[in-house]
Amino acid sequence: MEGFNVGLFGLTSTGKSTMLNALLDQKVADTGVGETTKKITPYNGTKFTLWDVPGRNDEVSYLSMEYISFFKGLS
C-alpha cells in the first residue's frame, strides 16, 4: 500500500460508499439503502487508496479479527 490509506467506516447506510464515489469523482462502489458493501474493498486514487468498509451497527463488530487486522495494516 503506497501513498495515503483512508478507511471509510461507520454505521450501516450512512453514506460511506457515496462519499468514496464523490472523492474519486466516479461511481465505482455500489450504493443504496441497507448493507451494500459486504467486504473491505480498496479503491485506488492517484496517490492514495480509499478502503470501503462494510457498515456495522454495533461496536463489537469492529473488534473482530478481520477489522483489527485491517486497521493495523493501514498504519
If we measure between CA atoms, which residue out of 52, 17, 46 comes closest to residue 33?
17
Q: For residues 43 and 18, what is the distance between their CA atoms, to the nearest angstrom? A: 13
Task: Match 450512512 to its residue by C-alpha cell.
Answer: 14
pLDDT, block means (10 residues), the chain with 75 residues: 80 90 94 88 90 77 67 68
3-class SS letters over 6-62: EEECCCCCCCHHHHHHHHHCCCCCCCCCCCCCCCCEEEECCCEEEEECCCCCCHHHH
Instruction: Give the model's pLDDT for residue 49.
Output: 92
Q: Report the CATH fold assignment for 4-74.
A: Rossmann fold (3.40.50)
- pTM metric for this prediction: 0.72
